[in-house]
Structure 1
């Protein structure tokens, strides 16, 4: 009896040691999540659309996109549009969603527009019963940002920046305590950096064409200033221009904004790899909230009435993500899986059982 007790104790200790080692295997200590609003998977994987790239109804100056974005080879076109994605992440990370290979990524929600899409990404599940509009209503669901902000090791080290002014409600800033700078918010507080002071001034003088969405350059500048000076462990950034230019049927602006966002992401990653807190200890995940239509008329819109608007994509790079590049294995993934995967990378179990499954291949 005594010997059996010892053996069971030994087995229990062995399993505890294995679990501890496995939890410590992950090198990720920081997370950066980035979303490009309404960015189609078609451009991500094949570059500028042959139907739209020189359409005089969507291009202010006919032919203006061709030198920088057009080649008959779609592999070259996508590299022209997203050089960081296809030269860095494709070589050192993973990119999901090329449906030509049967590698499919979809929304779990059936709405196929922004608030439901962002709720799914951030909370880990669709909520088609309560999240049914883009209205400024505080999210009843707890996001992974809020869960992390509740933990002592992450408290006050979780930040969010977005171009759309609905993000304080999607993240439920009031309840979660996660600071959200979105829409036309300015940087506030004591000891603002020179970058923040200049961005405050410029944003007050350059309003942009939309009443609820600021230009992404301001979101980028605020996020970069915070990354350098406040050193968050978890950072969420949402860029909005791609969706708004698409709604206005400006394919040229949509394409230019997409390439600029790729450059913004490179700027972030270059800083991450130069800073001791972040270098080789940070996982970057990129996705979108929804897709769009595919014809000359439907590409402007999305929502449940637009076929294929629930088709999306995602990418990741970091110390715990194997460098498989463009994923060509057949399978189905959803943006609802991102929240649980982030917790796994940080060595924790996601606290909400409703969240999507782990993206196992994204984690060693």
Structure 2
């Protein structure tokens, strides 16, 4: 049976050992640490202080942090320092030290354990390089996502004479392209088309599907602006893209805004989308119900529901995506108990710019509870 002497265990331990007097003068040092540093024992013991073996930066840290902390606590653990090797190079180390005292508590000497941190330093540097590379890649992805997302949203809304229009898009993630979309565009003869919807999924595939949906809605409206006809055309186009391996569909409200005296007549149809909100000039609020309208892009002959309303002076029509109603608050969702209607009633009557600004503040108040993109489009007629 092999046995190591205590002296051999000390001298050839896998870590460095060092003992100093209370003034820092080195009293004892093992062969392992001498080998790392390239010094003879005679050059160190009784001739140098521990701080003399440190780099300039290490010496400053030792004197301002390490030594005072050791004096106050009697012990320090795993402090990163750099020692100077005989050839002038720096050796990164981790130093743990403890003050030895006599029976009365009087300090006698300091014992230190020193670990070679070169591998750890290289590992940390590699981690840092990897993190920087990942940060650059993340920034590139975020820039691409933001650029792609902006291409799916009109840079500015068409102005409608006699009305105010405004919109807002909340991005849930800087790195993923969402599927919400909206637009408002002229149809000629005093009419304007508008829509707001939500494509299932996120990412590049959803972005492609969103782009197809937007351009199909605009093109179909030019041919036949009847809202149900427009949604029917969209359904025919999206059905061709449907795949059971990667099912894609959308919900959408499409409408036509036509001048009517001092206000506007609105015809709209819904394909499975949350109902539009109407904030009336008298402060009342109503949902423009389009019940049982079915999702677009799945069924061969879906049922779409239309409604006609009049937007009078002082009224505001609001379209929104379900990111707002699905926002998490506490243990439930924001609209579990009709909070959206209550919110609208608290801000009615309003104008398109005002209600969009108020909704933006509401979204900001959700914090981390807002996990999906949100699109908002509002049209109002100025009060007389």
The two structures share one fold, judged by TM-score above 0.5:
no
Question: TM tier, shorter chain?
Answer: under 0.3
The answer to which structure, 1 or 2, has the higher relative contact order (CA under 8 A, 6+ apart) is 1
Normalised to the residue count of structure 1, the TM-score between the two structures is 0.27
Bigger Rg, which one: 2
Structure with greater strand share of residues = 2
